[in-house]
Structure 1
Amino acid sequence: MRKNVKRRITGIEKNEPSGTYDEKEWQTLQKTGGMSRLESIVAQGYEIGVPKGELDRFAEIILTEEIHKGNYDVVYYFRKTMRIGTEKDVRTVGAQAYESFLERRKFASAMSIAEDLYGRNSNEWSRAHSAYETVPTKKEKRHGAKSHVSLPQKATFFDLFIAIEDTGEIVDDHLMDGLRSGFDTETAEAVFELREKRQSETATIGVLEFFEKRGYSEEDVTTFLPITFKRERKKK
């Protein structure tokens, strides 16, 4: 389904690049973005020969900032995917993400990360699953909550986020899970960052256009995310 998807570098090789590297180019790279571009910056740094220790040092600065913001899940998935930090680091921030999801009543996301960290037979997964089965289901029955949002073809991210707010937690959980499971880390994190931006910024970014520029089709979006697009009626 995907088209023109660039090959992802999922982790830095154990053997450090040999020879020297252009420090000025590396300094410029570091200034090109924060968490939303971290994977790309690290990958490009590796390509120009930056040692693993230096790449890890830079990544840790950005990841620490995200932890202070409470974005434990973003840090967890990045550490795991890019193999930044120790196994203990990965599990520690994963546990923080799990507890954060429970506190925010994001039970589907808590289930997903619990399965990843502890397995389906764990007490952690059972705890999240029990919460998901009781609270969200009752809420869905009371309010008739939808499992997806329907948007026009030219909908912006502002339209998407407003629609999700109107439908409630279930769609929000599905969106988060779909971004992690169906799209590369950089794309998912770019969407997470958009949620924190002002209306004036998100109102100018088309949902389909955003994903298509990153190599994903409309079919990818509707397959992995709780979104359907309304077909425009042809004028007679």
Structure 2
Amino acid sequence: MESWEFFLTNLRKYVIRNDNICIISDREKGLIAAIRRSGVPWRSVYCIRHIASNFHKDYKNADWKRQVVAMAYELQPHIFLQRMIRLESGMEGQTNTSFRQWLGTMEPWQWAQSFDEGFCYGQMTTNLVEGINAVLLKTRHLPITSVFSATFYRLATLMPRMGQQQVDQIKAGHVFVEHVRDAMVVNRRLERSINVEKYSRRLETFRVTETISRRPGIPTRSYGVDLRNRRCECRRFETLHYPCAHVVAVCGGITVDWPPSKYGFPQP
């Protein structure tokens, strides 16, 4: 635990000084204890891949495992609870413990995106480490000074290459990265099945209703959209930081091109 405390203290002192940080781990006891003892104002949350793996190890049911992962990534609390009830209903009579009992002391904000208050920024696993492994491939057995040298020189070549890719995309007229562009294409297609009702043009608040359900077995829903504060009740807008289908529908309904600059989004 002392090594974790040393690491966290220096990470806080020299690298990350923000308070709204979460550290994702496989419920590492030493790390969790070190966060508490070091006094850093950070959250310790749990990797959903490891949670799902541990759950599957105990129950050997692939469908239940998929449901757990879906719950973790769900953005809306009421749908999260619906999924939990559905899972517990499926487990009833087949196991000696309910899902909530299996969770034990784990709180929803420690593993579910719908309760994380934005701390995870959409990242639910520790897989980002694999990106570092790709850079440090074949160096982990070397002395620490050699590892540092390899890290520096490999990152020094990686970052300019990635930067050039972004420059090329900007020159091509792209505002968003490829993943967001693909998502926006889908959202514009979904826009056609959404009805928009104005609540207050002055306050820029609206009510939208889906005419086609996007989730099998779940009825269509109505959502409030607040353009001024960049919020939608589906929570995709503020969580993923690009417009959901409801926001796109509102902008189309009031003849506003997306992204409107007055809401703080870049223009092509």
Q: TM-score, normalised by structure 1?
A: 0.25
Task: Identify which of structures 1 and 2 has the higher relative contact order when contacts are C-alpha pairs closer than 8 Å and 6+ apart.
Answer: 1
| Structure whose residues are more often helix by fraction | 1
| Structure whose residues are more often strand by fraction | 2
Q: TM-score, normalised by structure 2?
A: 0.23
